[in-house]
Amino acid sequence: MGKRTILALIFMFCLSFTLASSEGIVHTLQEVFLGDPLPIRIYTDPGLEEVTILVWEDEAKKGILLEGKAFKVPDLRQDMENSENKREEILWIGLLGIPTIAQPGSYRLEIRMGDVSQIVPVSVLGRQFIHEEISLNREMTKLRTEEDARKISEMKELLERISQFNPRSIFHIKPFRAPVEGFRRTSRFGDRRKYRYANGGMDQAIHTGIDFATPQGTPVGASASGQVVFAGTRILTGNTVVLEHLPGVYSLYYHLDRIDVKEGAQVKEGERIGTSGATGLVTGPHLHWEVRVGGIPVNPDAFLQTGPLDKFFQLRETAVDFKEGR
């Protein structure tokens, strides 16, 4: 990505406020829906080594809903031509994923910057999720219900990889793109699923991504530029690819027929990473695509509609000055 493109994105991202405190300033959303990413933008003086973000469940701070870190990005507004207010502030970005199972209501967002800590109220809003029922044949029933040490090991390994936070992993700040185009969505993010097993049993689950009804062999492109952190076969998700795009932000591609990338490789937005198929736990050929922030599944549409460093902040934005003793 060219420097002018980055400058334009950051400039759009920062238009809505002016720095007013030598200690720092934070912008975040006052309201966020279940399953959406919660972005936090923070400016601090140079020298700060770490910014920690907590979401407390109530005013008494009895329980933590979420915990994460922010990462540094250059304040490229200082490079703008004809800039009159060049200052040495550092821009930090935090992204948290609001779980779809969280209780709607009022929460307290705490930003810790060294000896300075600030509490900001945030409201989590409920949303309607689709309920669907899926019948599984004997083979798929066995695949889902049978105890298997390998399945447990694979789940732990994947969760460990997508929970990593590397502050230098900044590959993509533009809006994402859908991995396939022109195909019907058969399942949506957050769907509440009821599985009916061939043996008469039932179980419930939450769908963590979007399913596209694609014919087997349909090319699948990277939804954003990034690095391949996993490319292999898993019992439940079949041929699987995982890409890292930002610190703590990953996209996942399940049930592929073929994998065309290797772990450690860097890919560009739209670059082919494989073809869709019907491997793993499936009832037919399709692509399952999801986005995770800090290991938590979030609504992929939030990344299609806007870039993680761009338009998240154009609605319901609030700015809070950090002051000692507040």
pLDDT in tens, 290-306: 999 999 999 999 999 76
Q: Given a cut of 50, is residue 325 above it in pLDDT? A: no
| Mean pLDDT across 23-43 | 86
pLDDT exceeds cutoff 70 at 9: no
Q: Where are the domains of the chain?
A: 3-127+309-321, 131-294
For the chain, what percent of residues have pLDDT higher than 90? 67
Average pLDDT of the residues in 231-243: 97
Range name among 73-77, 107-111, 165-169, 187-191 with the lowest pLDDT average: 73-77
Q: For residues 219-239, give the mean pLDDT.
A: 97
DSSP string covering 61-91: ---EEEEEEEEEE--GGGGSTT-S-----EE
pLDDT value of residue 30:
87
pLDDT at 63 over 90: no
Number of other residues whose CB lies within 10 A of the CB of residue 200: 7
Amino acid 214: pLDDT: 96
| Residues 218-223, mean pLDDT to the nearest whole number | 98
Say what the pLDDT of residue 23 is.
55
Give the model's pLDDT for residue 320: 45
- pLDDT number for residue 278: 97
Whether the per-residue pLDDT at 16 is higher than 80: the answer is no
User: 128 pLDDT exceeds 90?
Assistant: yes
With contact defined as beta carbons under 8 Å apart, do 193 and 206 qualify?
A: yes
Output DSSP code: residue 150.
H
Q: Residue range 89-107: average pLDDT?
A: 92
Q: What is the CATH number of domain 131-294?
A: 2.70.70.10
- Strands 185-187 and 210-212, bridge-based pairing: antiparallel
pLDDT tier, 91 (very low <50, low <70, confident <90, very high otherwise): confident
**CA dist list (Å): 87 to 18, 90, 295:** 12, 9, 35
Residue 5: which H helix or E strand, with range? helix 3-14
Model confidence at 8: pLDDT above 50: no
DSSP symbols for 180-235: SSS--EEE-TT-EEEEE-TTS-EEEEE--SEEE---TT-EEE-SSSEEEEEEEEET
Fold of 3-127+309-321: Immunoglobulin-like (2.60.40)
Neighbours of 166 (CB within 10 A): 13
β partners of residue 40: 28, 94
Q: Is the confidence at residue 129, as pLDDT, over 80? A: yes
Residues in the chain: 326
Give the mean model confidence (pLDDT) for residues 189-202.
94
Query: 44: pLDDT confidence band, cut at 50, 70 and 90?
Result: confident
Tally of CA atoms within 13 A in the half-sphere of 165 that contains its CB: 17
What integer is the mean pLDDT of 190-216?
A: 95
CA distances from 212 to 217, 220, 245, 253, 256 (A): 13, 11, 22, 11, 12
